[in-house]
Structures are given as structure tokens and as C-alpha cells.
Structure 1
């Protein structure tokens, strides 16, 4: 059985563990090893995650498999990030757990939270070459609304689709 719960700063090591496991598999054929290392160090440092939780209004959710007794995925969101829309900043599921409805369950939980504060849509950025994620988001009702290239430093960029789902 999958349980979704709010993460606290004491859960940061679990979030980091899942990110370190999933990123090389997710982006290994899309991004260079150097870019993956740079982004993991930047986006998943303890300092960055604590700052997001404590000062930037990010909420992290953890998916826990009560049968296996392990965390199998997480999401990071921010309500009212733009025009009454909740942004999904992060959504990662361990490789062996993908395709079992965990991601969908996390997004459904995010929808409930967003609706409670009267946000009107969910939105996210997804790498243009992450076909598996794009198909998943389309399957659960997201549509492409824009594209953007974001310079993240050291000569690296994020080349993304922006996808949105009305609530």
C-alpha cells in the first residue's frame, strides 16, 4: 500500500537518496554526467532543500510503500507560484516502482492540496527529451503550453516544455 505524507527537514536525506538514485537513470541519455552532477549538487544540497522548505514555500511529499517499508518517490511543489497555479518543481519515482500508479497518486494528492487553496491549475517544466515523463504527464491530463530554455550556469541549460493541467 502506498501512503503519501508531508516531508519535513528531517526527511531531506530520503529525498536526496531518491534523487541520487533516479537522476542518472532519468537523465543519463539526455544530459552529460557533468550536468547531472552539477544539478544534483545544486538542487539537492541540504542547504537548498532546507531553504526551499523553510523560506520559499515549497512543500515536499513522500510516497512510502508500507509493504516494502521504504520511500519510493517524492514530489516538491509550490502553491500560488504563478497566477493561482501550483508548480510541481520535482516528481521522481524509483525505477522499480514506476508504472505502478505512484506518480499518479502523488499528482492526485497535489491536486487536492492545490484545490484547497483555490489554485486553478497545476504546471511544471519537463525536459523536452524526457519522453517517458512527457507521456506520463499527457496521460494524466497535462498539455504543453510553452517552451523555455533556462541558463543554469557553468554553460548548462534546461531545455524544457512547460505543461499545465487545469483543476
Structure 2
């Protein structure tokens, strides 16, 4: 796509955590404001999106990236290589996209596709056999993933504490052999 040349991706370094957190604070609550209660958003922002939580996720194997349009950060991505999904691949040959978000003003510009293409390239480089992700069943991004070629593999309700559930589709994209 012509417009995608305007984007670049770089790994999150120690100095980038505040940049990532600023993006998270702008994107995440906006994405879920019509799906989740403000109390659940606040709980999840603290539990999953504080800088200490993000760094812990990185220590546990999640790789974080920032996407820029020109010099401005406009999106972020996190994924884990060689992920084991009990239903799809218990041996661990999948890449799990943990986070893929772009600023609302950047949606529809090819930014999401650029991030996903990057995740797919990294998954293939690592020798994984496909990509999976969780997405809230009411998230409009489900259509983006379907358009990209993901299929709904199964659904799950995941207890995240404090009486809250993540009610997700687990979507899967197998690579051709």
C-alpha cells in the first residue's frame, strides 16, 4: 500500500516506556469506552497497562514495539513467539499478538495492517506456524481481523479478578505449509 511507507516500527527501549504509556492512555480507554464499564477500564489499566505491568509482560516474553508516522508515535504492538495454546497448538509453535492498537485518528490509514504485517513477518522469521490473538467479542476490531484473514477458533471467558471477565474470541490465522 502506498500510504504504508509513511510508517516505521521500532522496539521499545527503556527510554520508550513513557511514550508507550502515553499511547496506551490515549488509545485503550477510547477503544473500550462503549464495551466496558469505566470501573473495569480503570481496573484493567492498572492491572495490565501500568508501566510496571508492561515491563513484567516483557520480562515474561512479550516483545513490544512502537509505530511512528513520520516522527510521531501512532500505535503499538506486543507479541509473544512460540506461544502454546492448549486447543490450537499445545507444542508452542504460534505467535500470539497480545496488543495491537493505533490512535483513533490513524484508524483506516493502513496503520493496523502495517503492524499486523510486521507481526506476521516476525512470526515467520521465528518459524512459528501461525498467529493467534484474543479480541473482545464486542470490539469493532473483530471485523479488521476477519478482513485480514483470521478465523474465530473458539470463545472464552477469562476471569481477570475483581469480578471482571474478558469475554473474547480467540482468532487464528494458520500459515500455509
TM-score w.r.t. length of structure 2 = 0.89
What do residues 102-133 of structure 1 show as CA deviations (whole Å, max 9, x unaligned)?
11011101111111111001000000011x20
Aligned residues: 163
* Whole-Å separation in 2 of the counterparts to 1:50 and 1:24: 20
- In the alignment, does 2:128 pair up with 1:140? no
Runs of 4 or more, structure 1, over 2 Å off, are none
1:150 aligns with 2:158: yes
Worse-matched range after superposition: 15-24 or 28-37: 15-24
- Unaligned regions of 5+ residues in structure 2, if any? 1-5, 85-91
CA–CA distance in 2 between the matches of 1:9 and 1:31? 31
Pick aligned residue for 1:40 from 30, 36, 45: 45
Q: Verify the 8 A CA contact 1:128 1:160 in the aligned structure 2.
A: yes
- What's the Cα RMSD here? 0.9
2:18 counterpart residue number = 13
1:109 maps onto 2:122 in alignment:
no
Q: Which residue of 2 aligns with 1:58?
A: 62
TM-score (norm 1): 0.94
